Structures are given as structure tokens and as C-alpha cells.
Amino acid sequence: MTLFEKIVARQIPAEIVFEDEQVLAFRDINPQAPVHILIVPKRVIPRIGLAVESDASVLGHLLTCVPEVARRSGVAEGGYRLVINNGRDGGETVPHLHCHLLGGRPLAWPPG
């Protein structure tokens, strides 16, 4: 099981911000911004580069949950950034697709 699967299964505690039948959003334990939320599908998709057509509905649902997660996190009005890492060189550290919602301060461009 991945770290995120264990969080979804409540085997590892997390500060949950949002949950429904398909998605779980929780605060990152190593935040890179004042607000750093991870949004994960409960069904494991290893990475965006391995997503297939049958994953489209859960990926679409994940993205449509973002505005509510941002609202609950207090960054909807000021703005935020979404990041999806893919592979080692892309910064992926957990092989379970997830979206980083970052906000709470001005974010520079380009990142990294």
C-alpha cells in the first residue's frame, strides 16, 4: 500500500480538508506554502503518465473538487496553484497520483 492508500484507509492520521466517495484532500506534512493540500483519488492511479481512458471520470471529478478545497482552505479568493508531478525528475515521491494545491502567499514563476 502507498502512503496515500494508508491515509485513505485511516491507517495513518491526516488533517482532512475534504472527502467524498472518490477523493480525499488533506494537509501536506511538509508544506511548501502556507496552504499546501494534497488531493488524491481514492482509487489508485500510479501517476498521470499512466492514466488511461477509464480514469477520465475520477480525474475530472478530482479537478472539479478543487474549488471547494480551495474555499475550505481560505485561498479561493486570493488564488492558488495546482501541481501534478510525474516521475522522479518531475518531483514525484509517492506513486499514487495526487494534486498539490498551494496558496496563502504570492507564488513565483517559474517554479523549481
Residue 51 lies in a domain: yes
Q: Compute the distance between CA of residue 69 and CA of residue 15 in angstroms, rounded to an integer.
A: 13
Residue 17 lies in a domain: yes
Residue 12 lies in a domain: yes
Report pLDDT for 104.
97
Q: What is the pLDDT along the chain (112 residues), one digit of tens a residue?
A: 999 999 999 999 999 999 999 999 999 999 999 999 999 999 999 999 999 999 999 999 999 999 999 999 999 999 999 999 999 989 899 999 999 999 999 999 988 6
Residue 110 lies in a domain: no
Residue 108 lies in a domain: no
Residue 10 lies in a domain: yes
Q: Compute the distance between CA of residue 31 and CA of residue 38 in angstroms, rounded to an integer.
A: 10
100 is an active site residue: no
Number of domains in the chain: 1
Please give the full DSSP string across 40-93, using - where no structure is assigned. Answer: EESS----GGG--GGGHHHHHHHHHHHHHHHHHHT-TTT-EEEE---SGGGT--
Residue 112 lies in a domain: no
Report pLDDT for 112.
65
Report pLDDT for 103.
97
Residue 111 lies in a domain: no
CATH at 31: 3.30.428.10
Report pLDDT for 7.
97
Nearest 5°: CA angle at 52, between 17 and 59? 20
Residue 102 and residue 69 in contact, taking contact as beta carbons nearer than 8 Å: no
pTM of the model as a whole: 0.94
Residue 84 and residue 101 in contact, taking contact as beta carbons nearer than 8 Å: no
**Catalytic residue selected from 36, 96, 98, 100:** 98
Domain that holds residue 32: 3-103
